[in-house]
Structure formats: C-alpha cells, structure tokens
Structure 1
Amino acid sequence: MKRISPMFRALVKQKVAKYLFEDDVVMNWSVLKKCILILVLGCAVHLSWLAWDIFVLFSPEYWQFVNVDIVRSQLFLNSLFFFILLFLIYPCYKYQNNRKVESFLPYLAVGIFVFSLCRDAYIVGVVSPVAMIAYVCLVTVGLVLFHRKLVYSMLIPASIFLSICGYLCFIGQLPYSPLFNIQNKFFYNGFWLLSMFYFIVPILAVCMMLFEILLSQWRHREKLIQHLSQIDPLTSLFNRRSINQCLDKLNDAQKNDYAVVLLDLDYFKRINDFYGHHKGDETLIKVSDVLNQQLRESDIVGRFGGEEFILILKNSSLEKAQQVAERCRSAIQQLKILSDEGEIIHVTASFGIAISKPELRPQQLLSQADKALYYAKASGRNLVKCYTIALESNLHAKQVKAI
C-alpha cells in the first residue's frame, strides 16, 4: 500500500481548511442547507441516545438505577426520531432553490428536532445538566444560523413545554426524570452522574465545533474586509486611505528621513480613448508590478487615484530617492504593452519627489511632491523632479507669467 506524501497531506489539509473557513461560510448558506446541518446534529444526538439505551438493556447490573420499560420505549422513540430526521435531509437537499418549500420545510425540520429534544429533556429531568446545556447551546447556535422568527417560533413553545413539565414535577403531578429511579440519595447515584456526563459530551463537542467554525469564519471575514478596505482592487496596491495611515505613522515616529514620490502616467487618457479601458487597466496593473519589482521590501507603493501612484521610501535621502525614481521611470518606459491590433502602446511617467522634515506634516509633504510632479509635467514629461526652494520659485514665476 502506497504511503501518502506529506506534501499531498498538507495540500489536502489546506484545501479542507479553505473550504471550511474561507470559501463556504456557514452563515451564508441557504436556510435549507443550514437545516441539513441541524438535522445531522439531531441524528448524531439520537445515535448517542440509542447507544446508551442498548448499553443499559444489555447491562442488567444497572437496571436498579433506571426504569427499564421507559428505556425500551426510548429505544423505539430514539430510533423513530433518528430515521425521521435522516429522511428530512433529502427534501432539504433536493429543494434548496424552491422558495415555496423554503417557506415551510425549515419549520418542520427544526420543529421535529426541537420536539424530540424537549421530550428527552423531560425524560432525564427538565433542570438536569443535559437539558440546560442542550437548551443554551442550541438556542445560541440557532440564533447564529437562522432568522429570529424561525428560532423564536420554536423556542417559545419549547420553553413553555419545559416550564409546564417542571411545574407539574414540582407539585407532584408528574414524576421528575422518569428514566431514572430517583430516591433520597439522587446525587450520590454514580450511574446517573455518568449518564449525565455521557449525554452532555456529544452535545458540547458538536456545539463547540460549530462555534469554532463560525467564529473562525467571522474572524476571517473581518480580516478580509479590513484587507479589502486597504487595497486597491485593480492593482492590489495600497489605496489612498492606507497610504495616508502609513504617512501618519511615519510622521508620529519621525526617527529617520523618508521620501515621498508621486508619479503620474503621461497621456493616460489617450490609452483609454484610443485602445480601450481594458488596455488602460492592463497598463495600470503592469505599472504596479514594475514598481513593486523596483522597491525594497521595507518601501511602500500605492495607487493614489486614477493613473497616479505613490512611493514611500523609508530611511531614504533625496539623492537615493531620485535614483529609485529614475530606475522606476526607465522600467516603465521599457514596458511592452500591445493593443488588440498588435500595436505597441508607449507608456511613460513623470515623477515628483519630496523629503520629510520634522516640521512638515504629511499633507505638506504630499503637497511638495505634487508640486515637483507638476514641474516634471510642465518641463516635458517622462522626467524626475525633486522639490527644492528653487523649484518653488520657478513654479511661482511660471504661474505669474501665465497670468
């Protein structure tokens, strides 16, 4: 027999984890698919009861602690409920997309399951640990999985039934826990305690497993939402919001100088107009890939909006930032993008650089980089310009001259 390789085992484990915790979120299931889950849980509970019934009937030494006739009736009823719940799985699976069936079948499936558990709760005692733990766990799981209308339509009658049974037991009209022979030394009965423990364990185990899956999926969803709120969906780069947060953190730390580089693709509108928006999107994706390849792992690259990108170069001087920008500019210029007709689409970008200073706030730094970018555009495009006092003077002079 061939051994399964560790790599294959790890791959299977990864696929199962992805299915359970990422792709197939239980809370997103249809109501009938959730019913199937509850029905399987019900079948498992009744199987555990059947195992206990059979064990007791074949163990005469424990008959002194139980009502044997009720154990025999329990064997029949647990078998009946097991097959009914098992049978209901089929219509829940077959009619998942049938709205008419979805309007009544969940009430039938969950109702029978709850009714069977209520009867078992009375048999072992309405205030026994089994009844209380099953009540709390199933209500909690139910409220997570189903609409409140369905849960409370089952919860209210079940609560009334258990309350009436408890009251009638209290006044002596009904025997409390008829399954067991309860005498004065009830809690000293080791068999009763072990039976309670046996009934509790499968319910707790299954409910805890469901809670763990639901909690893991909720945490994964929260991380995914947080990730999506920080990432540009087209280029998978940081978006403007994330970049602003990074700048605020760097400004608060202010341990080392960092450079901000703004770059804008030249004549990008022409690419969209002449070659189509799908080619414009392809250009943005390839430019983002180029920028990622040219930067260090500690640096940050983001899409600042439209065809504008931003680089945050940590622990960088103005000279080093200029070298990085020139390298990026050259790599973008060498990009080979073909139109649908096979024509080469030429892509270039203009860069503006500003270096951090203790007295500058992030928005002021961005403003300086934007002025340098504007100067690069005004000077002929496909250029790298650094913000300096002289550049500020030149810009002011050009603006005055334009007026």
Structure 2
Amino acid sequence: MTTNSPPPSPASLQHRLKKIVLEYGVIMNWNTLNKCILMLILGCVTHLIWMLWKIFIWLNPSLWSMTNLGLIKQQIVLNLIFIVVLSSLIYPCIYWQHKAWVKRFLPYITVWCFITSLCRDAYLIGVLSPATLSSFVSLLTVGLILFPRSIVYSALIPSTLYLFVCGYLSLHGMLPYAPIFNLPNDTYANAFWVGSMLYFITPVVMICLILFEILLSQWRNREQLIQQLSRIDPLTNTYNRRSLNQYLEHIQRKKNQNYALVLLDLDHFKSINDCHGHHKGDEALILVGQLLKQHLRETDIVGRFGGEEFLLLLYHTTLEQAQHTAERCRAAIEHLELKDDNGSRIALTASFGISTAQSPLTPFQLLTQADKALYLAKASGRNQVHIFQAQTENGVSVP
C-alpha cells in the first residue's frame, strides 16, 4: 500500500532551488528542466515589473489621458494570473523531473506559457515598437542557446504569426494598434509607414537569425566534441575513469538493475614496457581497447580504469553470460598479434575478475568485489577468469 507524501513547504522549494544553483554553476551545463525553472522565474519577475509600471500609471492621474486606464486595470489582474501560472510550473520541474513524460513534455509547456504571456503585452504596446522587436530578437537568441531548436521554434512560429496577424489587423483598422496607449487614430494606420518598417526590419532579423543559427551550430558541435573528448581515454579510445564513475553513479541512482562488472588487468605489462619500450605498451593497450569493444554489445560499456586495467559494465547480464563474455575476451587477448620492433611476437594475456549485481550492494562495492576476484586470478597463475564469491575474501594473497 502506498501513501502520498505531503506537499513540500515553500522553504523546501527555496532550498531545492538554491541547491540547483550551487550544484550547477554554469547555466549551459544545466539540464533542460533546470533551464525551464530559470526561465519561469525570469518570466515571473518580468510580469511583476510590468505590473509595477501599470500600478504606477493607475496611481498617477496626470498620466491617465495618455493611456487606456480600463485596459491597464485588466492587465494588472492578467499579469498576476500569469505569475501564478508560471510559478506553479516550477513545482513539477523540480519534484517530477525524473519522470519520463515530464522530461519530454514539460519543457514545451513551460516555453509556450512563457511566450504566450509575453505576446499579449507585446500587442498592447505595439507589435512594431522598439520594445517588442528588441524583446523578440533577444528571446529568440537566448532561447536557441539554452534550449533545443524544436522547443524554441514550436513556440516561436505561432507567436510570430500572432504578432504578424495583430499588425495586419491593426493596419486595416480591425484592431487598435498599441491599445494600452491613447494614440491618435492615424498614427500607425499609414500603410506606407507600416510597410516600410516591415521592409527594413524583416531582412535584418532574417540575416541575424541565419548567422546566429550558423554560429550556434558550430558552437554546439564544438561543445559536443569537447564533451566527448573529456569522457574518452585518448590512447585506447574507450571511456576514461571519470566516465566510468558516472555510469556507476547512474546505476546506483536507478537501483534494481541486472548487471555485471568485469575488471581485467594485462599480465606482466611492466615487462612489456621495460623490454620492448613504452610505445609497445601503448600499442598493446590500443589493441586491447579495440578488441574489447568488438567483443561487447552496443549497450555494454568498456573503459580504461587506470594504467593497464579495463572495466566492463555489462547491462542485463547473468553471471553465466558475464563469465562467457570474459572468457571470450581473455582468449581473444591471448591470440592478439603484438610484435616487437624485430617482428617477433610479444606474449600478451589478461586476468579477469567478475562480480554481479547483488542487493543492497552499491556498484562501487561490487567493483571492490571484482577487484578481489581479479587479484585472486593473478595469484592463481594469471590469464584466468575468476568470479567473486564469499570465500574470495579469505583467498590467496597476491604476491
């Protein structure tokens, strides 16, 4: 029987928001939902600032003749409603962020709500006003940097059509232009003036958008390459120790996964470096890294754990399957064609230690078990596969 947990207090929400800011200092490294939280907070602040301007007009009778006072009173209430709606979306972004449907749909919902709330005020102050145009370009560029294109353009296209239709209807007298202000009837009803503004504005916006898209694509490709390089061991082209730890931490958070850890160490690797040179040692590591990737499934993980050690993370794998995989890799390493500078074959073997998922042990505890099994394989003569068992802890000491 499950029970519903009590709703979090405002103090708890504030603590979680503070933790997010401290934990992910670089905004570009935030996940999409955390970026949505930032956007929602800024949206609330924007509507609050607009409310203060409208309240200022309402409290100063000398300005009533220049504004539509009745509309301003309505918009104060509407701004308050938008603040409530935007702030209410912060909760699921924080507390439901691990749900698949939240990750998929909530970014679209939050961006749509944010843009919709701004479009209304853009019409009120005039779709061709400097404030509207500068906000449009600024939000477009910032949005494309922070969010995937699909999210940004899904809100950008309908909002652009909305502003275009409002401008068209205002031009033909079907809608008032900038209705929040009391403007002369013919101020923005001149078709030549409106057409000229659109003529000069459109190419500038389009050129800037195209150039920005090109620069953004190049920048994102560069960032992806840098991120990929930071996760890969440059010598073996397998995952590095940092990436392996991240995968283990991910498993620890997910829990209840069926997996196996295989830790392997190249036998007598130091003698290869000493007798044949470090370049042959590097070649041995490269060949082993390539071989391991060829003998594993696409869903499995292989990485250089340190020095001449490699770690295999085998998802959805039983003990028998893990042992079979390790034996296949061991035999393949034994038959690797590694030759010295004179063309003579260099013997190359590896020892393996296996540990499989056991509740309530963490992946890092299983890694310790695999390490004990590996050292038992070393002590038993090397070029062997050993499985961790309870008695392994009292096994033969490694010389």
TM-score, length-normalised on structure 1?
0.52
Count the aligned residue pairs: 229
In 1: Cα distance, 2:361 partner to 2:278 partner: 38
- 1:179-230 deviations in whole A, cap 9, x for unaligned? xxxx995533322221221111111111111221222223223322322222
In 1: Cα distance, 2:134 partner to 2:317 partner: 62
Q: Match for residue 207 of structure 2?
A: 206
Q: What does 1:275-294 correspond to in 2, within 5 Å?
A: 275-294=276-295
Specify whether residues 135 and 336 from structure 1 end up closer, same or farther in structure 2 by C-alpha distance, changes over 3 A only.
same
Q: What's the secondary structure of 2:188's corresponding residue?
A: helix
Q: Match for residue 389 of structure 1?
A: 390
Give 5+ residue unaligned stretches, structure 1.
Answer: 1-127, 142-182
Give 1:322 deviation, angstroms. Answer: 1.4
In 2: Cα distance, 1:262 partner to 1:355 partner: 11
In 2: Cα distance, 1:302 partner to 1:219 partner: 25
In 1: Cα distance, 2:293 partner to 2:185 partner: 77
Specify whether residues 324 and 207 from structure 1 end up closer, same or farther in structure 2 by C-alpha distance, changes over 3 A only.
same
In 2: Cα distance, 1:306 partner to 1:249 partner: 24
Q: What does 1:8-157 correspond to in 2, within 5 Å?
A: none
Give 1:367 deviation, angstroms. Answer: 0.8
- 1:143-202 deviations in whole A, cap 9, x for unaligned? xxxxxxxxxxxxxxxxxxxxxxxxxxxxxxxxxxxxxxxx99553332222122111111
Specify whether residues 333 and 196 from structure 1 end up closer, same or farther in structure 2 by C-alpha distance, changes over 3 A only.
same
Specify whether residues 361 and 130 from structure 1 end up closer, same or farther in structure 2 by C-alpha distance, changes over 3 A only.
closer
In 2: Cα distance, 1:394 partner to 1:277 partner: 33
Q: Match for residue 271 of structure 1?
A: 272
The residue type equivalent to 1:393 in the other structure is: N
Query: CA RMSD of the aligned region, Å?
Result: 2.9
Q: What's the secondary structure of 1:311's corresponding residue?
A: strand
Give 1:268 deviation, angstroms. Answer: 1.3
8 Å contact kept, 2:256–2:359: no
Q: What does 1:320-359 correspond to in 2, within 5 Å?
A: 320-359=321-360
- 1:246-285 deviations in whole A, cap 9, x for unaligned? 2222233333432111000111122222222222222111
Specify whether residues 253 and 135 from structure 1 end up closer, same or farther in structure 2 by C-alpha distance, changes over 3 A only.
closer
* Greater relative contact order (CA < 8 Å, ≥ 6 in sequence): 1
8 Å contact kept, 2:377–2:384: yes
8 Å contact kept, 2:299–2:315: yes
- 1:58-105 deviations in whole A, cap 9, x for unaligned? xxxxxxxxxxxxxxxxxxxxxxxxxxxxxxxxxxxxxxxxxxxxxxxx
In 2: Cα distance, 1:362 partner to 1:333 partner: 29
Q: What's the secondary structure of 1:337's corresponding residue?
A: coil
8 Å contact kept, 1:351–1:385: yes
Q: What's the secondary structure of 1:188's corresponding residue?
A: coil
Q: What does 1:218-257 correspond to in 2, within 5 Å?
A: 218-257=219-258
Q: What's the secondary structure of 1:273's corresponding residue?
A: helix
In 1: Cα distance, 2:185 partner to 2:372 partner: 90
8 Å contact kept, 1:130–1:196: no
In 2: Cα distance, 1:310 partner to 1:394 partner: 22
In 1: Cα distance, 2:132 partner to 2:250 partner: 50
In 2: Cα distance, 1:372 partner to 1:184 partner: 86
Give 5+ residue unaligned stretches, structure 2.
Answer: 1-127, 142-183
Q: What's the secondary structure of 2:332's corresponding residue?
A: helix
Equivalent pairs: percent with the same residue? 54
TM-score, length-normalised on structure 2?
0.52
Give 1:390 deviation, angstroms. Answer: 2.2
